[in-house]
């Protein structure tokens, strides 16, 4: 199929390389040349609520009865009464078996061949069927269904007639209901989803996650019916430009009639929640019978405020024809990376990213997940309150997308999101390289195209991330170049072990210092090696591009303080067998915060992102988060205290990891400081020793001064006292000028011992 036709048929957007043919119009301050007329507008019916549900083996026969109930959006493991084995799909076992005996396994991305399903799942079912009813009134010319996200694969029936299918598990499905809807009467809507990834056709991404245990199906995002007249607005994309201040608006209009139509596109822009219109524009359009056409306009916004993490100004754009309307939000924000300086630039200024990861699709299988991801109060606290306390301005949404509402909240919270598609092949040397051969490139282009156009208006979505720890060269050479121009904002792409697809794209690094491997020579009990390593440890692609450090540690402990399956051997070396869960939780906070200070202090990374803020925590899990109570979002207290300091914009790192020091010894202490603010700051840096009871034993201090975005190392010739015992060595930066008013603390455990 011709590439342009392929993208147009998606009903969501076109490539930027087609823009010269769009006759982009520069907007003026008024629309006096076009006479005003009535706008038909769009009616949106939300189908959020409780649906009926049942299961089947066959694909095309609607169940005769529905004996269970389930919430939409949500997951099927929350159904009442519950379905047995609903999450079961032994993908992890399948992948492990693949690496050991490839000849016996038929490989298929996201699942397995249909005939082999029972080999990997205890389920006899293959499908789940959702049922609900709705009334659409008054009568309109068009009715369209949008299912924002559902897994695994979606098919739709309306009033007993099949409407269509959409196989994507992480992108929106669109279905035309116009010819089958009963206006002002009850309509029966039935949606079928796959029970597990094994039902997906070859090449469809069901998500490969080597550390995922369960694969839960469900409609996990919103479902809506759009009612309008003709011509219909198919999509609206907004690309902000900050110099000069303007937006490029690309609107796709579809004429569903048999006659050409002429109409007017009207644009109105409002700041925040205000009803005041700060800019209007109107544009005459003509669309041939049965055709789609894309119109581009540039609208000046000379007084618009920029979107910043600490001031996330949002604007609303409403686009109308005489028959339809679309409302969407945007922020005036540009993010780019620069290879020569190896820095991120936000709105033209160097900017350091600090944050963590959210692996929501792993949290889906957490025993306490339930309805939490769809509880707006819970999500707002997760994405707004806690990141502010921990001084985070970014997240990687890792190896799986989130419900659209999460991105709305991230927009409002001022978060910068690295948005990752769930592809994880592993490195070429890991015995998994054959996996990439099973991906269908045309299907990937389709899914990536839908994914971009679903999410491109969110200012929080700052970086597209094609894969996690993957060796898949065609992502860089073919797939990303094919789809990246769909995003008119030109966001950067990150692509794990593969070469960057563009000269200024960043590269991810995962330097797991504690991972048990022959190459890791760090003294696992003391971290003393860090004093001479220089902060440039890299695990991944050798590169001179900007670096994003979005995983590090290998120290995970479960919420109850027990080691995870990946870290049992590590913790056997770190702490004695008599260690309690509380001991491990405190030690984890101490070590991971010290490592965070280390990675930030040397400025080798444009972004430092801890792994992981939210994931599962379970006895057979490989990783875990650091919540003490995830339902109430109470963090483990040691973690919160240590990490809030480690991620302060004014960063402090004591480059000293000696576990023992002779009493009376003199050591040269290097205290490294960084300033993530654009404004300079000054104050006092204090270095002191205190015993475990909090009594100060010795102290030195000096003034500090840091330029905007600067760094500085202060050296102290520090004499330890003539007292033995376990102590804390601390460095505290107390700002007296600049934006930061809080003190930052770095601390090291030291035991003073007697003898020579």
- Sign, Cα dihedral of 335, 348, 331, 283: negative
| DSSP codes of every residue in 306-320 | BEETTEE--EEEEEE
Band of the pLDDT at 434, cuts 50, 70, 90?
low
Mean pLDDT within 695-710: 97
Residue 436 confidence (pLDDT): 59
Q: State whether residue 361 is helix, strand or coil.
A: helix
Contacts of 329 by beta carbon, 8 Å cutoff, 6+ apart: 314, 315, 316, 317, 408, 411, 457
Spans of all domains in the chain: 44-224, 229-330, 336-647, 652-753
Residue 345 confidence (pLDDT): 98
Helices within 602-649 (DSSP H only): 637-646
Where are any strands of DSSP class E within 183-222? 186-194, 218-219
Fold matches, 336-647 and 652-753 = no
CA angle 308, 312, 316 (to 5 degrees): 125
Contacts of 628 by beta carbon, 8 Å cutoff, 6+ apart: 559, 634, 635, 636, 637
Q: 125 vs 542, which has greater pLDDT?
A: 125
Report the candidate in 344, 356, 434, 347 with the shortest Cα–Cα distance to residue 388: 356
Residue 122 confidence (pLDDT): 73
The phi, psi pair for 9, rounded to 5°, reads -65, -20
Given a cut of 50, whether residue 96 has pLDDT beyond it is no
- Look up residue 311 and give its two tokens: 């001031």
Could you tell me which residues are beta bridge partners of residue 318? 268, 327
- Look up residue 683 and give its two tokens: 């104050």
Cα 755 from chain centroid (whole Å): 53
Report the candidate in 245, 368, 372, 389 with the shortest Cα–Cα distance to residue 628: 368
Residue 1 confidence (pLDDT): 37
Residue 669 CB neighbours (<10 A): 18
Given a cut of 50, whether residue 431 has pLDDT beyond it is yes
Given a cut of 60, whether residue 430 has pLDDT beyond it is no
Q: 384 vs 6, which has greater pLDDT?
A: 384
Residue 335 confidence (pLDDT): 98
List the helix and strand counts (H, then E) for the chain.
14, 45
pLDDT digits (tens, 9 = 90+) for 644-680: 999 999 999 999 999 999 999 999 999 999 999 999 9
Given a cut of 70, whether residue 13 has pLDDT beyond it is no
Residue 537 confidence (pLDDT): 74
Given a cut of 80, whether residue 391 has pLDDT beyond it is yes
Cα→Cα distances 169→181, 432, 634, Å: 26, 23, 31
Residue 59 confidence (pLDDT): 94
Mean pLDDT within 47-51: 98
The rounded mean pLDDT for the chain is 89
The phi, psi pair for 382, rounded to 5°, reads -60, -45
- CATH code given to domain 44-224: 2.60.120.260
Report the candidate in 98, 110, 197, 93 with the shortest Cα–Cα distance to residue 440: 110
CA atoms within 13 A on the CB side of 528: 8
Mean pLDDT within 729-745: 96
* Poorest-pLDDT segment among 435-439, 451-455, 653-657: 435-439
CA angle 355, 357, 361 (to 5 degrees): 160
Q: Which H, E and C letters describe 449-494, residue by residue? A: HHHHHHHCCCCCEEEEECCCCECCCHHHHHHHHHHHHHCCCCCCEE
Q: Which fold has domain 336-647?
A: TIM Barrel (3.20.20)
Mean pLDDT within 330-357: 98
* Poorest-pLDDT segment among 331-345, 410-424, 506-520, 565-579: 506-520
What b-and-e string marks burial along 376-391, b requiring 16 or more CB atoms within 10 Å of the CB? eebbeebbeebbeebb
Given a cut of 90, whether residue 429 has pLDDT beyond it is no
Residue 111 confidence (pLDDT): 41
CA angle 405, 406, 410 (to 5 degrees): 115
Given a cut of 80, whether residue 539 has pLDDT beyond it is no
Residue 184 has what DSSP assignment?
T
The phi, psi pair for 71, rounded to 5°, reads -85, 140
Token pair 């050591």 is found at: 667
pLDDT digits (tens, 9 = 90+) for 482-521: 999 999 999 999 999 899 999 999 999 999 989 887 766 6
Give CATH superfamily name and number for 229-330: Immunoglobulins (2.60.40.10)
Q: What does pTM read for this prediction?
A: 0.92
pLDDT digits (tens, 9 = 90+) for 278-335: 999 999 999 999 999 999 999 999 999 999 999 999 999 999 999 999 999 999 999 9
Mean pLDDT within 350-362: 98
The enclosing H or E element of 250 equals strand 245-254
Measured CA to CA, the distance from residue 344 to residue 321 in angstroms comes to 39
Residue 202 confidence (pLDDT): 84
Q: Which CATH number fits domain 652-753: 3.40.50.2300, 2.60.40.10, 2.30.40.10, 3.90.1310.10?
A: 2.60.40.10
Could you tell me which residues are beta bridge partners of residue 317? 269, 328
Given a cut of 80, whether residue 523 has pLDDT beyond it is no
Q: Strand 232-242 to strand 245-254: parallel, antiparallel, or no bridges (unpaired)?
A: antiparallel
Residue 178 CB neighbours (<10 A): 15
Cβ proximity of 378 and 371 under 8 Å: no
Q: 107 vs 524, which has greater pLDDT?
A: 524
């Amino acid at each position: 199929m011709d590439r342009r036709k392929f993208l147009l048929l998606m009903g969501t957007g076109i490539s930027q390389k087609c823009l010269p043919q769009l006759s982009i119009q520069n907007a003026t301050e008024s629309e006096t040349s076009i006479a005003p007329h009535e706008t038909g507008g769009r009616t949106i019916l939300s189908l959020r609520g409780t649906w009926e549900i049942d299961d089947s083996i066959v694909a095309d026969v609607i169940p005769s009865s529905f004996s269970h109930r389930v919430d939409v959006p949500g997951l099927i493991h929350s159904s009442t009464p519950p379905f047995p084995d609903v999450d079961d799909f032994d993908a992890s076992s399948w992948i492990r078996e693949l690496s050991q005996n490839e000849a016996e396994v038929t490989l298929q991305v996201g699942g397995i061949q249909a005939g082999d399903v029972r080999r990997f799942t205890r389920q006899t079912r293959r499908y789940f069927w959702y049922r609900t009813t709705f009334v659409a009134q008054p009568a309109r010319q068009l009715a369209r269904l949008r299912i924002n996200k559902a897994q695994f694969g979606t098919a739709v029936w309306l009033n007993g007639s099949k409407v269509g299918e959409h196989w994507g598990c992480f992108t929106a499905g669109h279905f035309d209901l116009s010819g089958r809807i009963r206006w002002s009467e009850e309509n029966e809507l039935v949606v079928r989803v796959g029970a597990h990834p094994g039902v997906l056709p070859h090449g469809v991404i069901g998500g490969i996650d080597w550390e995922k245990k369960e694969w839960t199906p469900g409609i996990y995002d919103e479902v809506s019916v759009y009612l309008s007249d003709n011509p219909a607005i198919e999509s609206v994309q907004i690309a902000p430009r900050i110099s000069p201040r303007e937006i490029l608006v690309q609107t796709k209009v579809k004429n569903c009639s048999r006659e050409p139509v002429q109409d007017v596109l009207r644009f109105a822009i409002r700041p925040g929640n205000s009803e005041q219109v700060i800019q209007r524009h109107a544009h005459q359009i003509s669309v041939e019978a049965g055709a789609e056409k894309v119109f581009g306009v540039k609208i000046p916004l000379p007084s618009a405020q920029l979107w910043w993490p600490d001031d996330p100004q949002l604007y609303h754009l409403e686009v109308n024809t005489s028959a339809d309307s679309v409302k969407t939000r945007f922020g005036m924000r540009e993010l780019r990376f620069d290879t020569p300086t190896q820095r991120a630039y936000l709105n033209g200024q160097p900017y350091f990213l600090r944050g963590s990861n959210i692996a929501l699709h792993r949290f889906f299988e957490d025993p306490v997940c339930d309805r939490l991801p769809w509880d707006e109060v819970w999500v707002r606290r997760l994405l707004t309150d806690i990141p502010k306390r921990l001084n985070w301005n970014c997240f990687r949404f890792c190896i799986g997308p989130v419900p659209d509402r999460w991105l709305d909240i991230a927009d409002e919270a001022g978060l910068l999101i690295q948005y990752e598609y769930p592809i994880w092949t592993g490195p070429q040397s890991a015995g998994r390289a054959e996996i990439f051969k099973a991906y269908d490139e045309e299907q990937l282009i389709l899914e990536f195209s839908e994914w971009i156009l679903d999410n491109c208006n969110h200012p929080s979505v700052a970086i597209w991330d094609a894969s996690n720890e993957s060796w898949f060269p065609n992502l860089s050479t073919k797939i990303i170049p094919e789809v990246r121009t769909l995003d008119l904002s030109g966001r950067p792409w990150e692509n794990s072990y593969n070469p960057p697809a563009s000269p200024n794209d960043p590269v991810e690094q995962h330097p797991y210092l504690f991972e048990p491997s022959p190459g890791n020579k760090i003294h696992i009990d003391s971290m003393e090696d860090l004093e001479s390593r220089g902060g440039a440890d890299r695990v991944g692609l050798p590169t001179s591009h900007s670096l994003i450090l979005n995983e590090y540690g290998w120290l995970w402990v479960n919420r109850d303080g027990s080691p995870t399956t990946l870290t049992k051997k590590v913790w056997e070396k770190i702490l004695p067998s008599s260690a309690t869960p509380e001991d491990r939780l405190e030690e984890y906070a101490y070590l991971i915060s010290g490592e965070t200070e280390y990675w930030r202090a040397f400025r080798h990374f444009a972004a430092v992102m801890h792994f992981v803020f939210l994931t599962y925590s379970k006895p057979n899990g490989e990783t875990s988060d650091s919540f003490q109570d995830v339902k109430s979002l109470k963090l483990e207290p040691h973690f919160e205290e240590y990490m809030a300091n480690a991620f302060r914009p004014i960063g402090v790192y004591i480059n000293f990891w000696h576990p023992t020091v002779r009493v009376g010894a003199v050591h040269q202490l290097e205290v490294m400081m960084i300033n993530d603010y654009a404004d300079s700051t000054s104050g006092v840096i204090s270095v002191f020793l205190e015993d475990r009871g909090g009594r100060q034993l010795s102290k030195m201090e000096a003034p500090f001064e840091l330029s905007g975005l600067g760094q500085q190392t202060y050296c102290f010739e520090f004499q330890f006292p003539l007292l033995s015992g376990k102590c804390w060595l601390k460095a505290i930066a107390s700002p007296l000028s600049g934006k930061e008013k809080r003190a930052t603390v770095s601390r090291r455990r030291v035991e003073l011992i007697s003898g020579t």
